[in-house]
Chain A
Amino acid sequence: MKKINHRQIVYILLIVICIYTVFSLLFPKQSYVSKTNEIKSLDILGEVENNDVIEQTFISDDDYLKFGIYLATYTEILREGNLIIKITDEDNKTEEIKVMLSRINNDSYYYIDYKLEKNKKYDIAITMENSTKPITLYTTKQQTKDAELKYNGEPQDSMLVLSFMYEEDYYFNIWYCLMASALILAYLVMTKPSKE
């Protein structure tokens, strides 16, 4: 029986990668993609303590599966308390989401699983309960259409930094395949036995 040499194995690998490339192109998997509103003059809202109310109204510019708020904990570790996020849509349907403050990290987005629909207006009310330490939310002067931010009822000239997530076809696997193929081709070129 004829032995398979290493070049033949590499050829097989190349063929498998090529097939996978075509497969990835035809049947891409879905992946979350985040989109963050443009930030202008990044600032913070000030110390947010228990019973403070932050209200943000905005119109969703697209369909999204999650949205995130940009939070900071003043580098503190929060062990107690909850963040309560009430989302009200145009039809006055309200959903309340409770997040343990211990899950919130300093200078990070916290994403909430809530589907937003394109061109619909939403009202988010954020409060905190049972926390011994304050948190804050980042704001931007770059306001989107009909966005309005209130801090304990007081209108602000900025809006919360919001990030949104949607699903998209994921084609990056093809990049990996192309890179692997290029390296394999380089190997095959360099290991080709000379005719002499």
Chain B
Amino acid sequence: MKEKKHIKYLLIALVISISITVLCEVFFNRKVLTKNEFYQADIIETNDIKKDGSWYETTSDEAYVIVKLKDTYINKLYYKYKTENDFNWESEIEEEIIGHNATPLINKVTRKIDRTTDSLELKINFNKKNVKFKDISIDNQIYINWSRVVVVFATLMGLAIIIRYRKYFLEHLDKAFLFIALLSGIIMINITPKTVYYSWDDQIHFRRANTFLSSETATVPSTMTTVINKNTRQSGYFQTQEEQQAYYDTLNKMQKEDGWEEYDVNNYSAKYNNIVYLPFQIGFRISEILNLNCTTSVVLAKLLNFICYTLLMFFAIKVSTKLKRVVFVISLFASNIFLASQFSYDPTIIGSMILATSLFFRMLEDKKLNKKYLFTFVACVIWASLPKAIYSPMLLLLLFIPNKKFDNKKQAILFKSITIIILLLLLSTFVLPALSGSLSGDPRGGDTSVNGQLKFILSNPINYAKIVIKYLLNSGPELVLGEWTIICLAYMNINVEMINSLIYIVNLILLMYCLFKENISKDIINNKLKTVFAIIYGGIMLLIITALYLSFTPVGSNSIEGVQVRYFIPMLLLGLLILIPTSKKIIKEEKNTNTWILIIPFISIMLTNFFIVYNGIGI
């Protein structure tokens, strides 16, 4: 009987979800519903254009054509072209000019125009000599955007499932996380472009993920250099799904013809910091073995990294007792899910640091020390510290586990001593090269020099302290828990400020609600321990800022460049532990009953997915 009820509910939800999804597609196609045609437009005027068989060719930079339209409305403009170099062209309707870019990588244009004109004329300025073109057409067909269909349907169906099974999900937040993260994350991987230049430094991460531990040469997909070299975002190419698909077809054809090739790496430095690219590398190696095409291998590599993030956060929620809700909300920040779906090593760093903090809290709670937790904590901090040694002071937390939790005092002292050795070893990878002057600055920051900046700091310590204090007063709150902590899509920004602010505020309130609803016994976290958390948090914050001042900021600058919010997300849970309410009473654990804990993160991520598609970038 109960089972029947479930099936009935799910069937009704399915029918409603399908209906709303169809209505949504009807709404987005409302302007072409009665038209639904694709027609070739007649050329009525040309300037500096000659005919060459079925192709037309521009003979000067002033070349243009005017075409006659059959209908007053133009949804998309389409034509085929051949060119050796990129060119900027314009579409002009009643003196309103829209600029576009074209590249030889694809040989057809499909641009969204979405304009109405009474003149029934459209002018195309090619602005370039020797461009061949043909088949200028207007696409007023009904277009089903499958990315949008999937996002809308999954949102509605997901919401129905969450509401129906809220009791189970609230009791098992780890499983709720798995459901929400996998559903929204896999969709995000598939709707975001299967290339780079959409997330922070993803072109660098993409290259490193491919070359991995190689020093001299590496076997990489033949399309790698094309993907890295072509900044498709900044150049404004591939603005519609049709153009993106054409680019993918080009890449896949290239990959099929040329396969995998040797690539000059010429980087002989130690590769310990590239180990975090392991999930991506496994994806690429599987792709090589299975001879997968370029876009599938990109999706597979991203998927494996995403799964790693999901597993780390899953265990972080699972081991948490009182912090479950807080960890759940952090793990489902749209910015975290977005980064985890792109080429970035930040998500596994965030995941491992949050897991480490959860494990530490669990070790404080447990009467006897669980050695598995202890070693997993060390492994997590090492994983995060290999690429960014600045996180290694997290190991200091282990020194504050009471000795009585160990088998004996000698064991506690020995283990804590070894922890300090591991910390020093991790810090040495960052401090020693900086002190020896063998670290070079990041040229993206301008006139940078680690050596020069270090000399500046050492000779002007008070001045540097003032710079740091001023910087923290100006940017501190934003770095610790600002809008970009919760909703940041790097270069794929959803560009709707109200939506960004809404997602930020609602998630922030939810996080604060979850945090202040907790009440931890002072036997677990006392004020002394909170001071320790604050010192470690502040120390890591200072290390992050100093690292960026050394490597990314011009020597002697009064500001600090390159500090990004995502560097602070791994420390967020530790920071929140400073604020968590504590009391002397032993407090009974309350049951989670607030369904909004599930709904808000889910809707936030799915809304993000929707706007990625809505902006036309996603495919």
Contacts and interface: CB of A to CB of B under 8 A. Distances in A.
A76 B266 contact: no
Contacts of B235: 75
B443 A42 contact: yes
Given A33-B268, A42-B446, A176-B272, A76 B411 contact: no
Contact of B440 (A32, A36, A105, A175): A36
Interface in B416-469: 418-419, 421-422, 425, 428-429, 440-441, 443, 446-449, 452
B358 to A, nearest CB: 20
Interface stretch (A5-13, A20-28, A82-90, A178-186): A178-186
Interface in B378-407: 378, 382, 407
Contacts of A109: 266
B526 interface: no
B114 interface: no
Interface stretch (A116-124, A151-159, A187-195): A187-195
Given A39-B448, A41-B447, A186-B419, A191 B371 contact: yes
Interface in A38-66: 38-42, 66
Nearest to A187: B375
B425 A106 contact: no
Nearest to A34: B268
A190 to B, nearest CB: 5
Contact of A77 (B229, B234, B440): B229
B414 interface: yes
B589 interface: no
A187 B230 CA distance: 48
B85 interface: yes
B498 interface: no
B497 to A, nearest CB: 29
A194 B86 CA distance: 73
Secondary structure dominating the interface of A: mixed
Interface centre among A33, A77, A172, A176 (most CB of B within 10 A): A77
Interface residues of B, number: 45
Nearest to A184: B418
A194 B228 contact: no
B266 A183 contact: no
A77 B226 contact: yes
Contacts of A185: 418
A67 to B, nearest CB: 11
A32 B230 CA distance: 30
B428 to A, nearest CB: 7
A39 B226 contact: no
B583 interface: no
A143 interface: no
Contact of A183 (B228, B269, B378): B378
29 contacts: A31-B268, A34-B267, A39-B443, A40-B447, A41-B447, A42-B443, A66-B266, A75-B229, A75-B235, A76-B86, A76-B229, A102-B225, A103-B264, A105-B229, A106-B229, A111-B264, A132-B84, A132-B85, A176-B272, A179-B425, A182-B418, A182-B421, A182-B422, A183-B422, A185-B418, A186-B422, A189-B411, A190-B371, A192-B411
Given A33-B268, A138-B443, 4 more contacts: A39-B440, A42-B446, A75-B234, A77-B230
Interface of B: 84-86, 105, 215, 225-226, 228-231, 234-235, 264, 266-270, 272, 371, 374-375, 378, 382, 407-408, 411, 414-415, 418-419, 421-422, 425, 428-429, 440-441, 443, 446-449, 452
Interface of A: 31-34, 36, 38-42, 66, 68, 73, 75-77, 102-103, 105-106, 109-111, 132-133, 138, 165, 172, 175-176, 178-179, 182-183, 185-187, 189-192, 194
